[in-house]
Amino acid sequence: MTNESVLRAVDDDARRQAGSLLRTGRSAALATLEPATGMPLASRIAIAPDFDGAPVFLISRLSPHFAALEASPGCSILVGEPGRGDPLAHPRMTVVGEAGILVDDAHRAIARHRFLGRHPKAALYVDFADFAFWKMNVQRASLNAGFGKAYALTADDVLMDLSEATSLIEISCDTVDHMNRDHADVVALFATKLLGQPSGAWRIASLDSAGMDLTDGDVVRRFWFERPVPSGEDLRELLVTLAGKARQIAG
């Protein structure tokens, strides 16, 4: 999407940065087409990453972007917060695709859990009749990692391959609940010792084959595993190992 002469070759660092932006963003700007005028409209949505990293968002039928997506599902989202200093020095990514309402009950339940892990206050309205979960089926993305660092990414570059992750998807929500409920001390060490974050009310927001996303309610931080774990059993073993490692760092 950027002039080709300024694009860099896509490497694993760019892919990981793209994955981190998708998995740590709490909100995004959504660009849709206004049905009556065809004008491009930018609006704010709260987001969460599906297991594969694709953006999921909960929106109301009363909002203009809901009607816009029903009329024309092609859209894009901008992720990556500007932060302090020069707003264009901070990495951001435009993700392009088609959005659709999540209708499969099992898929919706997982998306709901991952969304509420990041947006607990949405529990107040998540089950209202006028709200629905949408997922973007990603087609491509444009990563801008700062001046002169632009990458054109494919869907495969930014999303996780789920072909071997089925059993892990199934148990991931229960594992998150178990860790947050029964091992809050370990979760706190993950945040402070493995990720170097200040102490706070850290919880696991979501788990996937390649890492875990921790939140204190204001920010989300991602811990990438050294290598993806194929099964639920591998994940549990890894969490025990990481707990030991975090305790060791804590001394």
Instruction: Using DSSP, state whether 209 is helix, strand or coil.
Output: coil
Region near a copy of itself per CB under 8 A, out of 116-124, 164-172, 177-185, 194-202: 116-124
Written as six digits, the tokens of 33 are 């087409």
* Sheet architecture: strand order including 211-215: 203-208, 211-215, 220-224
DSSP string, 96-109: EEEEEE---HHHHH
Residues 8, 11, 13, 44: which binds a copy of itself (CB under 8 A)?
44
Residue 180 engages a copy of itself in binding (rule: CB under 8 A): no
Binder of a copy of itself out of 16, 27, 126, 245 (CB under 8 A): 27
Which of 10, 16, 26, 193 binds a copy of itself (CB under 8 A)? It is 26
Nearest-CA neighbor of 183 among 198, 209, 203?
A: 203
Which range of residues in 28-36, 163-171, 172-180, 202-210 is near a copy of itself by CB under 8 A?
28-36
Q: Which is nearer to a copy of itself, 123 or 250 (CB)?
A: 123
Q: Among residue numbers 76 through 95, which ones bind a copy of itself (CB under 8 A)?
A: 76-78, 80-82, 84-88, 92, 94
- Residue 10's contacts (CB-CB under 8 Å, 6 or more residues apart) are 151, 152, 153, 157
Nearest to 28 by CA among 61, 62, 54: 54
Total interface residues for a copy of itself by CB under 8 A = 49
The candidate with the shortest Cα–Cα distance to 143, out of 9, 4, 14, is 14
The encoded tokens of residue 12 equal 């694993």
127 binds a copy of itself (CB under 8 A): no
Interface with a copy of itself by CB under 8 A: which residues?
Answer: 1-3, 5-6, 26-34, 37-44, 46, 62-64, 74-78, 80-82, 84-88, 92, 94, 96, 119, 121-122, 142, 144, 217-218
